[in-house]
Amino acid sequence: SDFIFQAMFAATAATIISGAVAERIKLGSFMIGATIIVFIGYPITGSWEWGTGWLDRMDFADFAGSSLVHAFGGFSALAAVIVLGPRRGKYLEGGKIRPILGHSMPLATIGVFLLFLGWFGFNGGSVLSADAAGVSFVFVTTAMAACAGGLASIFISWIVLKKPDLSMALNGILAGLVGITAGADVIPVWSSVIVGLIAGVLVVFAILFFDKVKIDDPVGAISVHGICGIWGTLAVGIFGGGIFGVQLLGTLSISAFAFVFSYITFTLVKMVCGLRVTEEEEFGGLDIGEHGQEAYPDFGPASH
């Protein structure tokens, strides 16, 4: 059971990458790169803490993986996006950014709430026992941080973007969840609210920053998991009794390793078998180009 539980953590590192490279990567190339990263890269940094490695001996604290899972995935995604490049037509001349909207915000909302629910297993299961007091405490800090993150991102986007942006709100919920993950077992309940609020603010500005520097991340995965993963790890040193310097060293080491390992991996995959679909496939849709069928046939030419 511990193997399956940890395997889900490892798989999460790969799924974080998948969101950032969406709409322009070859399926086969992604699967090869993700397999190498999860099979080799993830266990290396995981062993530093959860395998009684050098970070564990320094009393580094990462309860359920703000750094070991989320920052690892986020900075692996950053490297993959840099190697892959932005979607065609995303960044225009004169510094203009063309929005490429998601096809269904209701489905995106459902997806985030599924993640919210799953996080109770992600964090609650990390207690590694059925201890009622321990599990219930983690449930409360997890929920409070998530709600605080969502509210913070709503109000910040309302101020900065002039509207309470739904995509920012959804990413704010996830940001709060990522932020509390490292210290869900030790950060007091009201402090978890602060952790979530700060994560919700950070994610809005991080998403805007990466767009400004032409790092094309369709779902904000780098901001949610990478930036807020670092914040959550540092928060243990501020609110949870951890050693701040050790927390900083640990999260930067994990993030740097993930970035370098992923950059090398996807560069090699690009050299050997290519990484990106053709321009025709990208504009036509990867459902047809990569899978040979329409995702929504009722809305395509074949339905007429």
- The structure tokens listed for 291 are 């899978």
Mean pLDDT value across residues 273-289:
92
What is the reported pLDDT for 94?
Answer: 82
Residue 42, pLDDT > 70, answer yes
Average pLDDT score, the chain = 95
Q: What is the largest CA-CA distance in the chain?
A: 65
- The structure tokens listed for 78 are 């950053």
Residue 299, pLDDT > 70, answer no
CA–CA dist 177, 187 (Å, integer): 13
Those residues whose C-beta lies under 8 Å from the C-beta of residue 280, and which sit 6 or more positions away, are 289
CA–CA dist 99, 163 (Å, integer): 15
CA–CA dist 262, 255 (Å, integer): 11
Instruction: For residue 275, give the nearest of 283, 287, 263, 284 by alpha carbon.
Output: 263
What is the reported pLDDT for 103?
Answer: 84
What is the reported pLDDT for 2?
Answer: 85
What is the pTM assigned to this prediction?
0.95
Of residues 179 and 101, more confidence is placed in 179
195's torsion region: left (phi>0), alpha (psi -120 to 50) or beta? alpha
Residue 16, pLDDT > 70, answer yes
pLDDT digits (tens, 9 = 90+) for 170-188: 999 999 999 999 999 999 9
Those residues whose C-beta lies under 8 Å from the C-beta of residue 147, and which sit 6 or more positions away, are 173, 176, 196
